[in-house]
Structure 1
Amino acid sequence: MGGFYGVGGKILLRQYRDYQSGFANWQQKQHAKDWLLYPQNLGTHLSLDETSLSQGELYTILTNKAARGGKGSIVAIVAGTKAETVIEILRKLSENQRKKVKEITLDMAGNMALIAKKCFPKAIQVTDRFHVQQLALEAVQTMRVEYRWQALEAENEALEQATFNQIDYQPELLTNGDTVKQLLARSRYVLYKKAPDWTESQRERAALLFERYPELKAAYELSQALSHIFEATTDKLYGLGRLAKWHEKVRQAGFKAFNTVARSIQNHYETILNYFDNRSTNASAESFNAKIKAFRAQFRGVSNVEFFLYRLTQLYA
C-alpha cells in the first residue's frame, strides 16, 4: 500500500501508529507492557489462561466468556505468570466486582488456582476438561516415542552388525510400506484422533501398530475412555464413579506415564468434577489464543509489544 503512494511501508506504519491510530493518546499506554485492565468487561463467568505474544514471553489473560471471543472479551492482560504479580494487578478491580464472579475455568497449574482463589473468592473453579484429556494424550505419545527410540536403537545395532559381517542391511518392511521406525513416527496423529475419524491409511497403520505394540493399544484405549467420560457424563456423582473406575484401570495397566496422569487428576478432583455442573470449559480462552496467534501472524511477529496490545484491545476490549 505504501509503495502505491511512493512511501515506504515502515514509514507508513509509523505514521499510522503515531498519528492516525489513536495509539499516542491511549490511556493505558504507559503501563501496557506490564498490564492492562478493562473493569467494564468483567462478567460472572471467566476464563483464565496464558499465552505467548512474542519471543516466548508469556502473558496471563483473563477473558469474559459472555463476549464469546469478540468485543468485550478482554478483562485483563498481565505480563508473566507469577501469581503474586497477577494477583496484585487483578486486585485493582473493585472487591465488589470480583465477588460477583460465579465461575472461572482454568488449567491445572498451581499459579492459576492461586490467582483464582485470591482474586475471585466466591467463584467456583473449574479445571478445563481439555487440559485433562491432553495429559492422557501426551502420556500415549510418551510411550510411542519410547518405542520409537527402541526401534531406532535396534535398527542401528542391526546396521552395525550387517556392516561388521559385510552384508547388505535391509530393514523390515510392513504391509503398508512402513519400516518399524516409520510406523512409530507416522502414528503420531493417529493416536491423537478418535478411531471413527481415521482415514483408511491411518486405520491400516493403527492395526499394524497395535498388533506389534499391544501396550500402546491399551494406552490409547485409556486415553479415549477418559475423553468419553467427559463427553458422555452429565451427572457429577456419576462422573466421580466413572473416574474412579478409570483410575482402577490405570492402576491395573501399570503404565508409568498414565500413573502420573492419574495422580494429577486425583490432586484436582474437586475442580475437575465441577465441570459436570455446567459443562464449562476453557474453549473460549483457547479460541481467543488462536485469534492472538492469527493476529500476530498478520504482523509477521511483534516488534512493538505496546502497539500490538493496543491493536488487540481495540478489537477485543
Structure 2
Amino acid sequence: MLSTQYKEHFSDYRSWDQLDHAQDWLLFEDNIGESLSIDETCLSSGEVYTFLTNKAGKGRKGTLVAVVKGTKAEDVIQVLKKIDLSKRNTVKEITLDLSSSMMRIARSVFPKALITNDRFHVQKLYYDALDDMRIAYRWMARDKENEEIKEAKSKGKEYIPFRYSNGDTRKQLLARAKFILTKHKTKWTETQKGRAQIIFEHYPTLKKAYDLAMKLTDI
C-alpha cells in the first residue's frame, strides 16, 4: 500500500481505492522544484501508478508533483508535458531507477535535467551479481559432492561429507554465505565472522567481489 505521506494531496478521496477509479492522472505543478524523483508504486488495490515528487518536500506538503496511472512511457510523458515547458526547464536533476521507461520519460519531459540513477538500485544490481557468484560455487560444490557419493558407492563405502572447521559441509557453507555476503561486515555476528573467514579463504574471488561491494556501500 502507498505510504500515507501524500494523503493530504488526496483529501477529496475517502480511500486510496477510490483514487484508482477517480481519474487517470493528477498534477500539482506548483510543487515542481529543481530536484525531482520519479518512480512507480502500487495503491492498495494493486494498480500501479507513476509518481513524480519534489525532493525538497521531504514527504510533507508540497512533495507530490504528479501521479499518473500506469507506467507506459507515452502516457506518462503526455500528462507531464501538460506542465509548462518553462517550469520543466527549471528542473536540474531527476533521480530514477534503472528502468528504460523511466529514463525515456525523464529525457523527454525534463530535457535540461541531469539524470541520476538511484543508489539503492545500483547497489541491488551489484549484490545480485555477487549472489549469482555464490550460487555458481554452490552448484559446483553440489556436483563435487555427487561425485564423491558416487565414488564411495562404487567402493562400497559409507559416504562421509567433507566438513570445514566450523562443521559446515561445502553446500551448507555456501548456502549460509548468502546472509554474510548481503550484510556489511560491521553487522556480522561472531559466528558469521568465523564463517566469513572460511568462505574467503576457500573462495578468494568472493572476497574480492564482497570487498568491492563494501566500497560501493561505504560511498
Residue 124 of structure 1 and its aligned partner are, at CA, apart by 2.1
Normalized per residue, which structure has more helix?
1
The 3 A distance-change label for structure 1 pair 23 and 52 is closer
Residue 159 of structure 1 and its aligned partner are, at CA, apart by 2.8
Match of 2:8 in 1: none
Matches within 5 A, 1:148-159: 148-159=138-149
Residue 28 of structure 1 and its aligned partner are, at CA, apart by 6.4
The 3 A distance-change label for structure 1 pair 166 and 89 is farther
Residue 156 of structure 1 and its aligned partner are, at CA, apart by 2.8
Counterparts of 2:103 and 2:114, CA distance in 1: 11
Residue 148 of structure 1 and its aligned partner are, at CA, apart by 1.0
Kindly indicate whether the alpha-carbon contact (under 8 Å) linking 1:28 and 1:36 is maintained by their aligned counterparts in 2.
no
Percent of aligned pairs with the same amino acid: 49
In the alignment, structure 1 residue 188 sits paired with structure 2 residue 150: no
For residues 25-47 of structure 1, the C-alpha deviation after alignment (integer angstroms, 9 at most, x for no partner) is: x9966554x43333343222111
Q: Which amino acid aligns with 1:148?
A: R
Kindly indicate whether the alpha-carbon contact (under 8 Å) linking 2:20 and 2:47 is maintained by their aligned counterparts in 1.
no
Which stretch has the larger CA shift, 118-127 or 71-80? 71-80
Match of 1:133 in 2: 123
In the alignment, structure 1 residue 45 sits paired with structure 2 residue 35: yes
Match of 1:259 in 2: none
For the residue of structure 1 that corresponds to 2:208, the secondary structure is helix
The 3 A distance-change label for structure 1 pair 107 and 197 is same
The 3 A distance-change label for structure 1 pair 51 and 155 is farther
1:64 to 19, 34, 54: 54
Residue 180 of structure 1 and its aligned partner are, at CA, apart by 1.2
Matches within 5 A, 1:1-317: 22-23=13-14, 30-32=21-23, 34-53=24-43, 58-228=48-218, 231=219
The 3 A distance-change label for structure 1 pair 57 and 163 is farther
For the residue of structure 2 that corresponds to 1:46, the secondary structure is strand
Kindly indicate whether the alpha-carbon contact (under 8 Å) linking 1:60 and 1:79 is maintained by their aligned counterparts in 2.
yes
The 3 A distance-change label for structure 1 pair 72 and 168 is farther
Counterparts of 1:176 and 1:142, CA distance in 2: 24
Counterparts of 2:112 and 2:22, CA distance in 1: 29
Counterparts of 1:63 and 1:121, CA distance in 2: 17
For the residue of structure 2 that corresponds to 1:187, the secondary structure is helix
Q: Which amino acid aligns with 1:106?
A: L
Which structure 1 residue ranges, 5 or more long, are not aligned?
1-20, 232-317
Counterparts of 2:104 and 2:198, CA distance in 1: 46
Residue 115 of structure 1 and its aligned partner are, at CA, apart by 0.9
The 3 A distance-change label for structure 1 pair 37 and 170 is farther
Kindly indicate whether the alpha-carbon contact (under 8 Å) linking 1:57 and 1:80 is maintained by their aligned counterparts in 2.
yes
Counterparts of 1:150 and 1:200, CA distance in 2: 27
Kindly indicate whether the alpha-carbon contact (under 8 Å) linking 2:127 and 2:182 is maintained by their aligned counterparts in 1.
yes
Instruction: Report how many aligned residue pairs link the two structures.
Output: 207
